[in-house]
Every structure is written in structure tokens, then in C-alpha cells.
Amino acid sequence: MAKGFYISKALGILAIVLGIAAVSTIIALSVVYAQEKNKNAESSPVSSPVSPTNPSTTAATTLDQSKPWNHYRLPKTLIPSSYNVTLRPYLTPNSNGLYTFKGSSTVRFTCKESTSMIIIHSKKLNYTDIQGQRVALRGVGGSQAPAIDRTELVEVTEYLVVHLREPLQVNSQYEMDSKFEGELADDLAGFYRSEYTENGVKKVLATTQMQAADARKSFPCFDEPAMKATFNITLIHPSNLVALSNMLPRGPSVPFTEEPNWSVTEFETTPIMSTYLLAYIVSEFKNVQENTPSNVLIRIWARPSAMDQGHGNYALGVTGPILDFFSRHYDTPYPLNKSDQIALPDFNAGAMENWGLVTYRESALLYDPQSSSIGNKERVVTVIAHELAHQWFGNLVTLEWWNDLWLNEGFASYVEYLGADYAEPTWNLKDLIVLNEVYRVMAVDALASSHPLSSPASEVNTPAQISEVFDSISYSKGASVLRMLSSFLTEDLFKKGVASYLHTFAYQNTIYLDLWNHLQWALGNQTAIKLPYTVSAIMDRWILQMGFPVVTVDTTTGTLSQKHFLLDPQSNVTRPSKFNYLWIIPISSVKSGTQQAHYWMPDNAKVQNDLFKTTGDEWVLLNLNVTGYYLVNYDQNNWKKIHTQLQTDLSVIPVINRAQVIHDTFDLASAQIVPVTLALNSTLFLNQETEYMPWEAALSSLSYFKLMFDRSEVYGPMKNYLRKQVTPLFNHFEKITQNWTDHPQTLTEQYNEINAVSTACTYGVPKCKDLVSTLFAEWRKNPQNNPIYPNLRSTVYCNAIAQGGEEEWNFVWEQFRNTSLVNEADKLRSALACSTQVWILNRYLSYTLNPELIRKQDVISTLSSIASNVIGQSLAWDFIQSNWKKLFEDYGTGSFSFSNLIQAVTRRFSTEFELQQLEQFKANNMDTGFGSGTRALEQALEKTKANIKWVKENKEAVLQWFRENSQ
């Protein structure tokens, strides 16, 4: 599954305009990519959407913990082999105003251990009795089925339990039939409905999101990843709509005998697969399609108007090359005969890798060359690459249980850069993993409240606990350490080990150690690359303990030391580590511009090697291109030499390492390892820098300063300094674009053009304000013909609204209401939060309670945008406190981005009063709970305390430095 909460490059820059703490900010919490459901949710019974046909339902309060159905993990007594599922979604409401679906299912399973009960997952389904029971059971192949004594629904563990009068026989096969009804709700989970408007007409479609534990909401099933089976899906649907599933239809749809204006579409049998990868959709969507040279059918589906305007063409163009790349990368053909990708108006995650039918948010699949930015384009190609990577790694070979989710999502989050780089070879996408994944996740992994990548399976049981593992540690730290592993093994060896793993475990389940074993096998089958330790010995230190080291170099002696890096050095690490927070570290280095031999630092606190000893004017720099997941600190003299080199000839130091110098010094300063002035000194060379990555690292790091100081006297001198530093960059782009009439060619140049304009406007470069005013005025004269280049729209919209009043705001609101392109709508919606007028922001906050004005899927990001505005932050905080119960009910238990709301609204908290407010908020709402924001709230409390301390200790030094360097 792709990351649930995505900020495009343009919106990311907009966030800096608003004062958002970006990817590598000091003490910032990283963006949490997926939902973290309420840890206490299991104590509340789930309400049924329709009146149950059988009142025998076990509520949470009467559970006896000694019973097997009160365990969240399925017993191993029964193993499914196949399902036949027929579903009929009703896309108009019934007499009670509810949208529903009806279904029937037959599951075949084998008894592995004698048992007198069948425990199968079922959630919010109401059963139609068959001969007085919820299900019917029969034997297969001559075996006799025992009689059913009774059935019950255990809501807290989401089971249907069938009690039998006699035990099932070991190695015998059985089939169980059921008929049921469920609500086709708009809750973005299981089998749900999505609504949109086209040509003024409301349209309804039925679609799915099964991961992690919602297939059970669609039909009764053994809903665990290791319970693989084949699936025969049949959909009954209105004849004028198209039915899709994981596989192609067996043949043309046929009329439904009971109602001639309905059709029946039966799909081919799936391969052996997990329930969470199932998908089925009924809609009036259209597609564009092509066949690959290996005869795989590729189709891109979306709303008819979007397809008519060609918004699926870019996705179609890159999907074939990416599939071809992964087929070769994995040395395994694509496992299916088709690859459907569909853009949904309502979708909680970024995308979902359902086998053969990948679902996306519209912004992650559709691209309009006329109005989408380069960031939108990069978003499309990287998310497609992420999801297609899963078609092998995750779908063909699946992790046994959710505790190893990090390997599934971390792997896809790493190789998405390789697949996208193949599709767009001129973009240098592989470099961006450092900013997007490594630095982003270090911000949260450096907190004492972080957690290891892998945890014992016994610690992940409930749906809430499963949801909690979908966080930035799993995705971005997973990607970072796998990239490090691939780097020291070499990509070729890494690929060989992965291919062997896929060939061995096709259609099966694995644990992470299986991958280590196959990489070790690949290593042992050659002699060119030798490691001083086994793959497992090295990698276990990175995945079984949280955090990462800071490597400190003393260039006078060549001594290296390592220590667990914590952003708050006073924080108390309560989680023990059997490795004592020491790592085996791969170290690459250059000495005065010349690359040195690779070095392995053992898991010792201190070692010495002359590679790291310097004389005279020599300097040394470690972690080339930041392939290692660690920070580097040097003695003061070496830092001074690096800074001097940057200010005299920055080209000697690679671009990624110029970004590293900035990022690492700011993090080291926040941890009080180096003075804050050393970090600020690392930005002095920026007036000569025109590359994106160093500027992005600086803006991300300095955005923390903006958050801490944009309400204090420090902000004036800070604005003056940044205006001085960015003016040469603004002038550079003004020149190479011929006064903004042309556009840079490369991806990173285009990103840095956005940085230049956005930062120049934020910090008051007069020519930038004039540029924004002129472009916005031209657009207002002719709203149907937007002259603003898509890359710059977020910046122009935001600044125009900030400079304007009600008239400008209302104009942008009207454009937002009328646009049919989701990428444009996202830019406009975020820019509306830039107003500097309190009453306008309060009105906008009220709009988020009305789904007719702000879609449910966009509420959290809209509130976050308002909270990111220095004026809107306190308003958003008051609003969230006043409306917590409603927000929690709507989003707290299932939203992938709910934790971002708590993160966004508390980012500026840096006073004792704000800490008291946050503690009071926690106390006031303990009864309601915090749902998927539970962990984020704890991190916000930790971060606020750290902010208070940091401001107290650094404010005077920072004020003095900006005053001295802003002249």
C-alpha cells in the first residue's frame, strides 16, 4: 500500500510557506503514512448496519478469555483452499436510506487438527438463515459433515463461530455456505461506496479496500495473510455498469435471470493469494489500454470525463516499462495476464496493490499535462512503481504476519525509486530517496518513543495493533536500511538474492529471515564481494533495535566512535536492546575529494583507523551519497575545513553530501552535540548554491526555526538572512527561465525553481511579490484560461490569498468548487488555508464539517493546512478541541492520516502554557480516545517538551547569529 498521506512537491513548498515542519526538521515527527487505530477499540462492540437475522451475538462485556474465539489470531485447525463468492451491490439507497450489498459465499477448507468448531472472520455482516442456522456445512470427497449445534457472532474479535455437535476429521475437506447482507457504507473500508459528481449528476460506485483486516467486512473468510486460497468472484451489477476484479471475466457478462436490467459477470479463478489483496469494483468508469510485448493487458480506469481528457495517458505510458523493469529485476515474469489500475474519487490510502486491480487516489494515478505540476507527475510514476513492485514482492510471496510489514512496504518504498527511474531516466529520482525517506524518517526514529522495524508476531494481534505498524518506520526506515543493504552487497547481488527468494517461495508465505538466507546464499555463490559478518548479523542490528547511530570522527587520531542518536539527549530510552544500541556500520568516505577504501565499523563503541586521520589542510567526509542510515559528526577543525571547502569550491563535495552537511549539523545541534551556530554556518554557502537537494535540506531544517520563532523577535533577522541567501537563487531562475517565460528541463531544477519562488515570496523579495500579483491578476481576468505554470501554482495561489482579502479567497474557493481535476483541487484547497484573516479561516474550518463542501478524505489534510498557517494554528487547535468527539467518530479509528492532524496542530507548541493545554486535552478526552492518533499524541507531548527546552537554550544564540549574518 502506498503512503496514505502525501504532500506533493508543490504543496510541500506551500507547507514551508505556511510554516510547516518539513521532512528533516529537528525534533519534527515524520509524516505517518497509515492509520493507527485506537488501541482500545476492541473493547467496544461493533454496531450492525442492518437488523441482524439472528440475535445470538456475543458482546465485548461478556467475553470469556479462555475460549479460542476470544483470541485475535485464528487457530491453525482449519486451512482454506478455495472460495466462491457472489456479491450484488445496490447503488441506490433502500427504504431506510441505506446503501447495501447482498452476497453468498462457499469456502472449502481442510481440517488439520481435530476441532468441534469453525472460527472464521466476519465483520458487520448479517446472515440469512439456512435451515435455521447462519451457515450450512457439508463434507467433500466422501467425508461427512457433523451437524451444527449453534452459531454466534463475536463482534470484538470479529468472528463467526460455528459450534458443531461432533468434531471435524483431520485431513478431511468441508465446504461451508452462507448468505449475508452488509452496508455499502462510505467508510472507505471493506466493500464500500464512493460518490462523485459528473455534469451535475451524483454518481455512486462500489469498490474495495481490504488491507489490513476488512475482507471480513465483505464476506466471511479466514482473513489472515498466511491463509491463502483461490477465489472465484462473481458480481451481479446494473447492466450499464462495468464490473472489475483481480482477474479477467471468464466471458461476456450475461443477463441476471431475476432482473433483466442487471448483469452477471463471473471472473477467472485467482492464483493462490491472501484475502487482503482481493478487489472488486462496479462503476461506469472508462479505460485506456494496451498490451505489453509479453501480452499482459494494461488498462487505466477513471471517471469518464477524466479519461476523455487524456488524464490516464501518462500512467498508461509508464506502466508497461515499469512492469518490464520489475520482471527483469526479479528475474520472474509478471504473474497475471492483466494489470488494471483505477483512480477512485474516495480512497483512504495513497494506493493499494490488490493483485491485478490496483486502486489509487485520483491524484496518484491521473496526470493532466496542462494543469498538473512536475510533482504531480513524479507522484504518479513513483506510486505506480511502488504498487507494481508489490505484484511480486508481497503478492506472489507474502509475509506470514503483519509484524513483518516493514519488509513488504520498506522493500516497495525502496524499489519504487528504481522502477520510476527506469521509466523516467533523466530525472535522477534515485537520489531523492535521501530527502523523501531517509531524512524524513530519521526525524521520528531519533525519538525515544520510536520502535524497532520488526517486532515479535505475538505483539501484533488486534486490528488496531496491525494498523499501528503502517507507519513511517515501516515504510521509510524499511526503505532506507534495504537501500543500505543493497549498496554494500551491490545491486546485482541483491537482485540475485531477491530472485532466488521469489522463486523459492512463490504463492507461499515467509518471514524476514528467509530473505536474509537467500541474500546470504547469493553472497556465498561468488567471491568478488566479501562481508566481515553474515547478512543476518549486520541487518538484525538495524531492524531489531530502534533508532540509528551518530558516528563521530576525530581526524587528529583517526578514531571513530558510535552512539545511539537521540534528538533530545535527556530523553529516557526504556526499550532494551540485546545489541546495547550498537551497530555494525558500513562506512564509505572521501579525503579532500578523493574516495577511500570501504570500511566496516564493528559493533564497538570506539575504533581507530588511519583512513580517518588527516594532516594539514586535509578534510575527511563520511557516508558518501548517504547510503548508510546514520549521522556523522566531526571534530571542530574538520567541520571548519568542510565549511571552508563549501564556500570556496562547493563542487568538490557531491550534491547529496552538501545536503548531508546541512541536515546532519542541524540534527546534531538539536541534540546539543554541536552548537546551533555550527548548523547555521552550514547554510552560508547557499548564496552560491543552485542545486535542489542542499536547498531542500536547508529549508526543511530551517522550517523548524520558523515554527519556533515566527511568533517572536527572532523572526525579523531570520527573514532578512534568508532573503539575502535566496535572492541569488531567485535571480538565477529568473535568468534561465527568461523572466519566467520558459521552464527548467530537469526534475530537480524544476523543484528548485519552486523553492526559489516560494522562499523568495515568503521572506519578502520584492520582485517575487510583484510576480505573484501579476500572475494572479491575469488569471482573475480570465478564469477559464489559467496562465500560471502548474509548478508555481501552489506558491502563487497561497501568496495571493495571503496578500488579499475576502474577494481573492472567494475567487479561489469558486475555482476549487468548479475544477474536475483532483491535483488542481488539492492545490486550491491547500492555498485557501493561507489567508491572514481570522474570520475567513474560522469560516473555512467550519466548512470541514460539511462533506458537501470538503470531501471526507480531504478533511484531515485541510485542517492540517490551516494549522500550518501561523495565524490559523491557534484557530485550528481551538476547533479541534471543540469538535474532537465528532472528528474522532468520523476519522479516529480508520483514517490513514489522523495522526497527521495531531502532529500538524501541535507543531508550534513551545511554551509551558501550550504543554499544559496539550496535557489537559489528553485528560479531557480519555473517554473518547485518540484512535489512530494515539501514538502521535504521545510523540507530540514529547516533542513539545523538547521544543520548550530547545527554545530556552538556543533563542539568544540564534537571534545573535541571524543579526550578524543578515547584513
Residue tagged 450492525 (cell numbers): 48
Query: Sign (positive/negative) of CA torsion 479, 480, 486, 490?
Result: positive
| Cα–Cα distance list, 946 to 27, 28, 666, 673, 936 (Å) | 7, 10, 15, 15, 15
Taking residue 98's Cβ as centre, other Cβ atoms within 10 Å add up to 13
* Residues 6+ positions from 199 with CB-CB distance below 8 Å: 305
Residue tagged 535572492 (cell numbers): 727
Q: Got the DSSP string for 888-926?
A: IIIIITT-TTHHHHHHHHHTT--SHHHHHHHHHHHHHTT
Find, among 154, 140, 170, the residue nearest to 72 by Cα: 154
> Does 387 participate in catalysis according to the annotation?
yes
Q: Which helix (H) or strand (E) holds 173?
A: strand 173-183
- Quote the radius of gyration of the chain (alpha carbons, Å): 28
Assigned C-alpha cell, 110: 481442510
Longest alpha-carbon distance in the chain: 91
Supply the angle between the helices 793-803 and 9-18 in degrees, to the nearest 10.
Answer: 30
Helix (H, G, I), strand (E, B), or coil: what is residue 562? Answer: strand
Supply the angle between the helices 822-831 and 793-803 in degrees, to the nearest 10.
Answer: 30
Which residue among 387, 416, 424, 437 is the active-site one? Answer: 387
| Cα–Cα distance list, 800 to 76, 741, 792 (Å) | 62, 20, 12
With beta carbons less than 8 A apart as the criterion, state whether 436 and 483 touch: no
112-142 burial, b at 16+ Cβ within 10 Å, e below that, comes to eeebebbbbbbbbbbbeeeeebbbbbeeeee
Burial group, residue 938, by CB count within 10 angstroms (0-12, 13-18, 19+): middle
* Residues 6+ positions from 473 with CB-CB distance below 8 Å: 406, 441, 444, 445, 450, 451, 453, 546
| Cα–Cα distance list, 728 to 477, 752, 756, 963 (Å) | 35, 13, 9, 20
Phi-psi region of 200 (alpha: psi -120 to 50; beta: other; left: phi over 0): left
Assigned C-alpha cell, 431: 537520489
Assigned C-alpha cell, 384: 505506480
Query: Annotated active-site positions, please?
Result: 387
